[in-house]
Amino acid sequence: MQLGDLEGLMVRRRAGLGLGDFLADPMIAPLRWPDDVVEQWLYDHGDNGSFQRDYGHIDLAGILWSLEAVTAAELSEMPTGASDDGCIEEYAADPDHWVAVRQFGIHEGVARQWAELGTWKRPPVLLDRRLVTLAGTGLQVVEGRTRVGVLRGRRRQGSLVAAQHQAWVGRPRP
């Protein structure tokens, strides 16, 4: 299954399909992905044009997810998809702004998390680049570009940034 196969499901989501029903859908449930990954990538961005261009060719059933510690150094060099090239650096240019505007709803506590622990509140979604291109190496940011940009910008400012950060990492299934 690929992102394009979710078109009908994404129409239903835009019409009000809740996350619980999305997770239980016969197209999504068999993937056995963590709910957080499904929400951040497929539910929130499954019909995003940039994501379709960058990840539309990937076999979603061929991804195995794990929550992993990733170093701040790795994240500081990690690319995102070609369609959004440069966006992480845009967020990194003014990390204080991007933290400040995330204070309500699901973003409540983001500023405190950065100030006290030097990390994000919610793990971003990263992919092993071998899933994107056969010649790929390392990891790539799928969702969480603002979070990674804030990390980069805070490192440059000399603000508190933890040495390691939790992230959802998708790798090819064995």
- The pLDDT value given to residue 105: 87
- The pLDDT value given to residue 110: 93
3-state secondary structure of 24: helix
Cβ contacts of 163 within 8 Å, gap of 6 or more:
71, 72
Closest C-alpha among 144, 3, 132, 6 to residue 60: 3
3-state secondary structure of 27: coil
User: Tokens 């261009």 label which residue?
Assistant: 53
Other Cβ atoms closer than 10 A to 23 = 16
- From residue 59, how far is each of 70, 84, 130, 134, 173 by CA, in Å? 24, 21, 12, 13, 10
- The pLDDT value given to residue 11: 96
Q: Which long-range contacts (CB under 8 A, 24 or more apart) does 108-116 make?
A: 114/150, 114/154, 114/159, 114/160, 115/160
Please give the chain's pLDDT, 174 residues, in tens: 999 999 999 999 999 999 999 999 999 999 999 999 999 999 999 999 999 999 999 999 999 999 999 999 999 999 999 999 999 999 999 999 999 998 888 889 999 999 999 999 999 999 999 999 988 899 999 999 999 999 999 999 999 999 999 999 999 998
- What the block records as the tokens of 34 is 């963590």
pTM reported for the whole predicted model: 0.95
